[in-house]
Amino acid sequence: MTIETLYANTDFDLKSEIPFDTLNHELDATCCVLHYTQADDGHWHSIVESLQNDETSPRKAEKDILAIIDAIKVLTPTAKAEFNSCYLREFNIGFHCGDTWAYVHTVPPSVVRAVADAGCSIAVTLYPIRNSDGTPKE
């Protein structure tokens, strides 16, 4: 059985040495904050996802990233200051890796530019679909 490689989602990861409650609250108004906590290292961590959910077309990183950037653009000065204090501001694009050969998921230059203009980085995470013995994960 062949398993197709698919785009999963884009997490927007934030890390700071100080709490960013206002930023977290404002992002949660237009996005989905999955996680916001102080970690064992004493730093504050958050994982945010887009609320984009167009059932008529496949999800794409481009739409998810731009939705979060739109939320960043309207932050209040307090939230923007907290955003700027984050030492990690990263769009982490995730894929469920199947058996597809040479899978391509394009992020247009305008989106890459928007990420850079927002002072953020891009990462990629690959999620295996198969166990180490080759059987599909459940």
Q: What is the pLDDT of residues 55-86, one digit of tens each?
A: 667 789 999 999 999 999 999 999 999 999 99
As given in the structure block, the two tokens for residue 89 are 């501001």
Using DSSP bridges, classify how beta strands 121-128 and 88-97 pair: parallel, antiparallel or unpaired.
parallel
Q: What is the pLDDT of residues 20-41, one digit of tens each?
A: 999 999 999 999 999 999 999 9
Using DSSP bridges, classify how beta strands 44-49 and 6-16 pair: parallel, antiparallel or unpaired.
antiparallel
Largest CA distance in the chain: 52
In the chain, count of helices (H) and strands (E)?
4, 5
Who contacts 102 (Cβ-Cβ below 8 Å, separation ≥6)?
none
